[in-house]
C-alpha cells in the first residue's frame, strides 16, 4: 500500500513536470492559462496524498487553499485580464521551440543531479520528487526569460510558485501555515499588481511586448 | 520449442495478417462517421486487396529490379515486426530473432526500401516523398528508441516479451516514466503511420502527401502488398503501444488456455484504440511539413524525460 501511494506521488510529480514542459512549448495564451490551472490541480493532488500519508492536517488546508487560489481564482482573474487586454487569441511567435526544449532537458538533468545528494539524506516518502520540483522551478524560470509578452511572463512566475510549493511539500512536508498563508496572499496581490502593470505597459507602448521597456527613452 | 509455442506464434501471425486490414477499415469507417459520411464499410480494405491482387501490375520502363523487389521486402519486414510483438501471448519462438532495438531497425529497413523504390523511377513526386519520409524517419527513430529504452529499463531487458511479462504479470506498479513514454510513443506513431497531424492518409494533393507520394508508381499486386504492409505497420505500432502501456490480457508462457481470452481482449483494445485514433485525426488539423520537426522534437524530449524520471524515481 505504501509503495503504491509513493508511486502515486511520483505520478503527480511527473504530471507537474510534464505540464511545465507543455507550458514552455505553448504558443497560445488561452491554453497557457488552462495548463497553469491543470498544474495547480496536480499540485493539489500531490499535496492531498502527502497529507493523507503523513497524517498532517495542515497540509489539507494548504491543499484547499491552493485549490481555491491557483485552480479557480487566479485562472479566473487571468481570463478576465486577457479579455480586458483583448489578447485572448494572441499567439506569440516563439523562437525555435526544439532548441528551447533541449535547454529544458539540460535544466532537468541539472536539477536532478543537484537534488540527488539532498534526497539521499532524507527518509521521507517524497524524497524522489525534490528533483522534479526543482526542475519545474527552473523550467518556469526559463519560461519567464524567453517570453517577450507580459502575460506569459506572469504565468511563468505563477508556475514557479507552483514548483516552489511542491518543493516545500516534498522536502519538508510543507511550510508552517503562517508562511504558506503569507505566500498565497503575496501571489494573489502580485497578480493584481502585475495586472495593473500590464495595463500601464499597454497604455505606454500600445503593446504588451516588454522589449519596449529596454529603451530608455522614445526615439 | 514446444508445440504450444509454435501454435501461439502461428496464431499471432495469422491474427496480424487478418486483423491488420480490419483495423484499417475500422479506423476509416469511424473517420467517415465523424465526418458525417456513411463510409465504405469495415471490409473495404479486404475488397481493395482482393481487387489489387487480381489486377495486372504495371511497371515503368525505367524501373530497376529493386522496384519489383521492394514490395516483398517491405511486406516481409512488417510481417516479421508484427510476429515478434507480443499480441496474444508472450510465448513466441520468433521473438529472440529481434529485440526492441532490432525491431526499430526492421522498420528502418522497410523505410529505406520504400524510399529507394520511390526514387528509382525518377519522377519528381517519388523523390519528394522519399525526402519527406526520410526527414520524418530520422526524427522519429530516436524518439521511438528512447521510448523502448525506458520500457527496457523497467523490464531489465530489451526483449519485448520479457518487458511485457514484467509489466503485465509482476506486482502492479504505477510507472510515471511510462506516462511520458506513452505520450511520446503516441506522437511517434502518428508520424510513422502517416496519420493526420503529420500526413493525411486519404490525400493525393501533391503539396502535402508523403506516404502516397512514395507509392504513386506502384500498381496491381505490388500495390496490394504495400497497402497490406502499411496496415500491418499500423497494427504492429498499435500492438507495441498496447503491449507497453496496456499489457493486461496478453497470455503468459505455459498458459495456452489464456490465449482464449487474449484474442477478445486484443480485439477490444484495438477497437478502442482505432476509435481514439479516428477521433484524434478528426479533431486535429494537418500541420505544415516544417512544423513536423518541432512535433517530433517534443516527442523525443518527452521520451528522454521519461527515461530521466525513471532514473530519478526508480519507477
∠ at Cα B62 (B58, B68), nearest 5°? 50
Rounded Cα distance between B29 and A41, Å, is 37
From the CA atom positions of chain A, what is the Rg in Å?
A: 18
Contact flag B301-A102 (C-beta cutoff 8 Å): yes
Closest residue by Cα to residue B176 from A20, A127, A7, A17: A7
Residue carrying the nine cell digits 471490409: B43
Cross-strand pairs, B251? B89
Determine the distance from the C-alpha atom of residue B33 to the mean position of all C-alpha atoms in its chain, rounded to a whole number. 23
Chunked into runs of 10 residues, chain B (315 residues) has average pLDDT values of: 81 92 94 91 92 92 91 95 87 82 93 94 89 92 94 88 82 81 93 87 78 88 94 94 85 71 89 94 88 88 88 72
Sequence-distant (6+) residues with CB within 8 A of A80 are: none
Q: A68-77, A207-216, B15-24, B51-60 — which is least confidently predicted?
A: A207-216
Distance CA A212, CA A205 (A): 7
* Interface residues from chain A to B (CB-CB < 8 Å): 3-4, 7-8, 10-11, 13-15, 17-18, 21, 25, 97-98, 101-102, 104-105, 108-109, 112, 115-116, 128-129, 131-132
User: Which residues of chain A lie closer than 8 angstroms to B294, CB-CB?
Assistant: 97-98
Bridge partners of B89, per DSSP, are B251
Question: Which of B307, B312, B314 to mutate to test binding with chain A, by most A CBs within 10 Å of its CB?
Answer: B312
Contacts of B138 in chain A (CB under 8 A): none
Tell me, yes or no, if B271 comes closer than 8 A to chain A by beta carbon.
no
**pLDDT tens across B256-302, in order?**
677 778 888 899 999 999 999 999 999 988 888 888 888 898 899 88
Query: For chain A, what's the residue count?
Result: 219
Distance from CA of B110 to the nearest CA of A (A): 28
- Domains contained in chain B, number: 1
pLDDT given for residue A219 in this prediction:
57
User: Under a CB-based contact definition with an 8 Å cutoff, are residues B27 and B277 in contact?
Assistant: yes
Q: Which of B146, B154, B193 is nearest to B173 (CA)?
A: B154
Determine the pLDDT at residue A198.
Answer: 80
**Looking at residue A173, what DSSP letter applies?**
S
A47 contacts: CB under 8 Å, gap ≥ 6: A59, A62, A63, A66, A165, A166, A169, A174
- Full domain range(s) for residue B150: 3-313
pLDDT number for residue B315: 55
What is the CB neighbour count within 10 angstroms for residue B5? Answer: 18
Q: Which residues of A touch B311 (CB under 8 A)?
A: 112
Q: Does B293 reach chain A within 8 Å, measured CB to CB?
A: yes
Give me the residue from B172, B174, B294 closest to A11, CB to CB: B174
Residues of A in contact with B175 (CB under 8 A): 7
Q: What's the rounded Cα separation, in Å, for the pair B52 and B222?
A: 8
Contact assignment for A128 to B294 by CB distance below 8 Å: no
Residue with cell 501571489: A187
Could you tell me which of A172, A174, A180, A170 has the C-alpha nearest to residue A131? A170
Measure the CA–CA gap between A54 and B12, rounded to whole angstroms: 48
Nearest to B313 among A4, A10, A97 (CB): A10
Say yes or no for a CB contact (<8 Å) between B293 and A11. no
Average pLDDT over every residue of A120-145: 83
B181 touches chain A (CB under 8 A): no
Q: Which of A10, A102, A115 sits opposite B176 (nearest CB)?
A: A10
Residue showing cell 506522437: B187
A19-42 confidence digits (pLDDT tens): 998 888 888 888 899 999 999 999
Burial class (CB in 10 A: 0-12, 13-18, 19+), B33: middle
In this prediction, residue B98 carries a pLDDT of: 80
The answer to whether B179 contacts chain A (CB < 8 Å) is yes
Q: What share of chain B is helix, strand, coil (3-state, %, to 5)?
A: 70, 0, 25
pTM of the predicted protein model = 0.87
With beta carbons under 8 A apart, name residues in chain A contacting B176: 7, 10-11, 13-15
Angle between helices A150-172 and A2-25 (to 10 degrees): 160
Cell of A62: 494548504
Mean pLDDT of chain A: 84
CA distance B217 to B116: 13
C-alpha cell at B288: 505544415
What per-residue confidence (pLDDT) applies to B50? 95
Domain coordinates in residue numbering, chain A: 2-214
A143/A141 Cα distance (integer angstroms): 5
Whole-angstrom Cα distance, residue A122 to residue A128? 9
Instruction: Collect all residues with Cβ–Cβ distance below 8 Å to A183 and sequence separation of at least 6.
Output: A161, A165, A175
Beta carbons of A101 and B183 less than 8 Å apart? no
Q: What is the ipTM of this complex?
A: 0.76
Choose the closest CB to A105 out of B174, B305, B315: B305
Torsions phi, psi for B214 (to 5 deg): -70, -35
Q: What percent of chain A has pLDDT over 70?
A: 93
What residues contact B127, with CB distance under 8 A and at least 6 apart? B118, B119
List b or e across B193-222, with b for residues whose CB sees 16 or more CB atoms inside 10 angstroms.
Answer: bbbbbbbbbebeeeeebbbbbbbbbbbbbb
C-beta atoms of B313 and A97 within 8 A: no
- Which residue among A3, A15, A108 sits closest to B308, beta carbon to beta carbon? A108
Nearest CA in chain A to B315: A7
Burial B139-168 (b: 16+ CB within 10 A, else e): bbbbbbbbbbbbbbbbbebbbbbbbbbbbb
Phi, psi (deg, nearest 5) at residue B174: -90, 125
Residue of A nearest to B297 (CA): A98
Q: What is the pLDDT of residue B76?
A: 95
Mean pLDDT of A119-148: 82
* Number of neighbouring beta carbons within 10 Å of residue A4: 11
Query: A133 vs A208, which has greater pLDDT?
Result: A133
Determine the residue among A2, A7, A13, A14 to mutate to test chain B binding: the one whose Cβ has the most chain B Cβ atoms within 10 Å: A14
C-alpha cell at B280: 484524434
pLDDT band at A125 (very low <50, low <70, confident <90, very high): low
Question: What does the pLDDT read at residue B60?
Answer: 87
Q: Which residues of B touch A109 (CB under 8 A)?
A: 308
A97, B298: Cβ pair inside 8 Å?
A: yes
Cβ–Cβ under 8 Å, residues B290 and B181? no
Contact status of B174 with chain A (Cβ, < 8 Å) = yes
C-alpha cell at A130: 525534490
Q: Which residues is A209 bridged to in the sheet?
A: A149
Q: What is the pLDDT of residue A26?
A: 83
Q: What is the pLDDT of residue A215?
A: 74
Amino acid at each position: 500500500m505504501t509503495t503504491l501511494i509513493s508511486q502515486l506521488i511520483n505520478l503527480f510529480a511527473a504530471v507537474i513536470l510534464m505540464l511545465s514542459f507543455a507550458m514552455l512549448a505553448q504558443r497560445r495564451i488561452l491554453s497557457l492559462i488552462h495548463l497553469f490551472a491543470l498544474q495547480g490541480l496536480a499540485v493539489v493532488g500531490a499535496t492531498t496524498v502527502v497529507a493523507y500519508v503523513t497524517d498532517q492536517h495542515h497540509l489539507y488546508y494548504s491543499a484547499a487553499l491552493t485549490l481555491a487560489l491557483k485552480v479557480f481564482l487566479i485562472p479566473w482573474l487571468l481570463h478576465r485580464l486577457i479579455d480586458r487586454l483583448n489578447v485572448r487569441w494572441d499567439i506569440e511567435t516563439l523562437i525555435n521551440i526544439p532548441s528551447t526544449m533541449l535547454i529544458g532537458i539540460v535544466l532537468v538533468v541539472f536539477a536532478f543531479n543537484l537534488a540527488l545528494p539532498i534526497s539521499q539524506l532524507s527518509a521521507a516518502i517524497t524524497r524522489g520528487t525534490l528533483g522534479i520540483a526543482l526542475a519545474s522551478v527552473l523550467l518556469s524560470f526559463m519560461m519567464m526569460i524567453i517570453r517577450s509578452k507580459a502575460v506569459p511572463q506572469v504565468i511563468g512566475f505563477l508556475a514557479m510558485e507552483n514548483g516552489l510549493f511542491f518543493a516545500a511539500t516534498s522536502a519538508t512536508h510543507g511550510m508552517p501555515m503562517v508562511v504558506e498563508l503569507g505566500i498565497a496572499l503575496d501571489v494573489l496581490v502580485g497578480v493584481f499588481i502585475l495586472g495593473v502593470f500590464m495595463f500601464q505597459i499597454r497604455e505606454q507602448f500600445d503593446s504588451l511586448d516588454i522589449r519596449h521597456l529596454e529603451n530608455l527613452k522614445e526615439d | 520449442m514446444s508445440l504450444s509455442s509454435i501454435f501461439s506464434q502461428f496464431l499471432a501471425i495469422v491474427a496480424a495478417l487478418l486483423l491488420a486490414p480490419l483495423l484499417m477499415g475500422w479506423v476509416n469507417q469511424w473517420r467517415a462517421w465523424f465526418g458525417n459520411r456513411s463510409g465504405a464499410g469495415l471490409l473495404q480494405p479486404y475488397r481493395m486487396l482482393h481487387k489489387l491482387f487480381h489486377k495486372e501490375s504495371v511497371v515503368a520502363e525505367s524501373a530497376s529490379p529493386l522496384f519489383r523487389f521492394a514490395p516483398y521486402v517491405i511486406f516481409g519486414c512488417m510481417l516479421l515486426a508484427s510476429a515478434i510483438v507480443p499480441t496474444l501471448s508472450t510465448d513466441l519462438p520468433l521473438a529472440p530473432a529481434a529485440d526492441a532495438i532490432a525491431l526499430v531497425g526492421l522498420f528502418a529497413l522497410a523505410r529505406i526500401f520504400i524510399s529507394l523504390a520511390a526514387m528509382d523511377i525518377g519522377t519528381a513526386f517519388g523523390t519528394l516523398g522519399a525526402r519527406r519520409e526520410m526527414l520524418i524517419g530520422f526524427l522519429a527513430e530516436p524518439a521511438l528508441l528512447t521510448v523502448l529504452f525506458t520500457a527496457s529499463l523497467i523490464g531489465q531487458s530489451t526483449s519485448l516479451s520479457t518487458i511485457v511479462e514484467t509489466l503485465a504479470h509482476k506486482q502492479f506498479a504505477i510507472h510515471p516514466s511510462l506516462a511520458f513514454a506513452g505520450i511520446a510513443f503516441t506522437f511517434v506513431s502518428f508520424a510513422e503511420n502517416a496519420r493526420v497531424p503529420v500526413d493525411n492518409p486519404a490525400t493525393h494533393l501533391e503539396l502535402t502527401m508523403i506516404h502516397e507520394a512514395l507509392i504513386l508508381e506502384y500498381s496491381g499486386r505490388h500495390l496490394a502488398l504495400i497497402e497490406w504492409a502499411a496496415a500491418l505497420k499500423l497494427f504492429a505500432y498499435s500492438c507495441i503501444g498496447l503491449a507497453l502501456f496496456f499489457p493486461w490480457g496478453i497470455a503468459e508462457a505455459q498458459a495456452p488456455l489464456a490465449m482464449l481470452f487474449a484474442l477478445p481482449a486484443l480485439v477490444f483494445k484495438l477497437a478502442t484504440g482505432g476509435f481514439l485514433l479516428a477521433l484524434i485525426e478528426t479533431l486535429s488539423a494537418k500541420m505544415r511539413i516544417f512544423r513536423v520537426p518541432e512535433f517530433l522534437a517534443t516527442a523525443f524530449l518527452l521520451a528522454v524525460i521519461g527515461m530521466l524520471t525513471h532514473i530519478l524515481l526508480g519507477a
